[in-house]
């Protein structure tokens, strides 16, 4: 199990969450560190342009694009899996189709979206095994991915956005599973145990 150090403040909490599940992750910051990993997690907090600059500087963009191992993006890490982000109009990894866009503030809708919100399962995926309709997760973000055919679960904050995504071996959680109590732990465990 490899966890990519892309400069996100959630790196430590993701590693601790994995350790609570009995997994000792290896933190990697270059392509060589990905070798031999049976799963890879890309956590992230912050801005897409800076995160992509860091991944480029570490020589990780192409290795992540060509990775044959199951990959889970968390929060900003999930957004980086898409083609582009409107945040800085930056090209991302392009592993999932779609453009990440800014959430729209409205009456009673604050941006950034911070706090607990319910998941709405949209299609079957082993990622959601044991996660029920209306189970909640902890979100902190201002940008979000659109709902597409790859969306496993959505969330509503002034409109629906992708909360959990899976396209083959590429998976993502917009929320922080490491801070989402039993729901988050279950999704992490599902990712670790899934057959791809």
Residue 177 clears pLDDT 90, i.e. is over it:
yes
Question: Catalytic annotation on 75?
Answer: yes
Domains of the chain, residue spans: 2-193
Residue 154 clears pLDDT 80, i.e. is over it:
yes
Per-residue pLDDT, 8: 76
Residue 14 clears pLDDT 90, i.e. is over it:
yes
What digits encode the pLDDT tens for the residues 34-90? 999 999 999 998 999 999 999 999 999 999 999 999 999 999 999 999 999 999 999
What digits encode the pLDDT tens for the residues 85-133? 999 999 999 999 999 999 998 888 999 999 999 999 999 999 999 999 8
pTM: 0.97
Banded model confidence at residue 9, pLDDT cuts 50, 70, 90: confident
Determine which one of 75, 92, 155, 171 is catalytic.
75
Class of domain 2-193: alpha beta
Alpha-helix runs per DSSP H in the chain: 11-20, 48-57, 61-65, 76-79, 181-193
- Residue 156 CA to residue 117 CA, distance in Å, equals 8
Are the beta carbons of 101 and 82 closer than 8 angstroms?
A: no
Spell out the residues 6+ positions from residue 147 whose beta carbon is closer than 8 angstroms to its own: 122, 154, 160, 161, 162
Q: Work out the burial of residue 39: count CB atoms within 10 Å of its CB; fewer than 13 is exposed, 13-18 middle, 19 or more buried.
A: buried
Per-residue pLDDT, 10: 84
Are the beta carbons of 73 and 171 closer than 8 angstroms?
A: yes
Per-residue pLDDT, 138: 98
Question: Catalytic annotation on 92?
Answer: no
Q: Is the peptide bond before 112 cis (omega within 30 degrees of 0)?
A: yes
- Residue 70 CA to residue 101 CA, distance in Å, equals 25
> How many contiguous H segments (helices) and E segments (strands) does the chain have?
5, 14
Question: Catalytic annotation on 141?
Answer: no
Residue 6 clears pLDDT 90, i.e. is over it:
no
Banded model confidence at residue 152, pLDDT cuts 50, 70, 90: very high
Determine which one of 15, 92, 113, 178 is catalytic.
178
Compute the average pLDDT of residues 17-34. Answer: 96
Determine which one of 141, 157, 170, 176 is catalytic.
176
């Amino acid at each position: 199990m490899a966890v990519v150090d892309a400069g996100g403040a959630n790196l430590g909490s993701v590693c601790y969450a994995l350790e609570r599940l009995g997994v000792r992750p290896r933190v990697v910051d270059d392509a060589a560190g990905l070798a031999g990993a049976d799963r890879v997690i890309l956590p992230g907090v912050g801005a897409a342009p800076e995160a992509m600059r860091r991944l480029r500087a570490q020589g990780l963009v192409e290795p992540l694009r060509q990775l044959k191992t199951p990959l889970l993006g968390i929060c900003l890490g999930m957004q980086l899996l898409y083609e582009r982000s409107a945040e800085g109009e930056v090209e991302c990894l392009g592993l999932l189709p779609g453009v990440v866009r800014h959430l729209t503030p409205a009456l009673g809708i604050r941006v950034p979206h911070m706090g607990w919100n319910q998941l709405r399962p949209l299609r079957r995926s082993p990622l959601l095994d044991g996660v029920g309709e209306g189970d909640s997760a902890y979100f902190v973000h201002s940008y979000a991915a659109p709902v597409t055919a790859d969306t496993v679960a959505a969330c509503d904050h002034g409109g629906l956005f992708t909360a959990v995504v899976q396209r083959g071996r590429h998976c993502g959680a917009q929320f922080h599973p490491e801070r989402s109590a039993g729901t988050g732990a279950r999704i992490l465990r599902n990712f670790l145990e899934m057959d791809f």
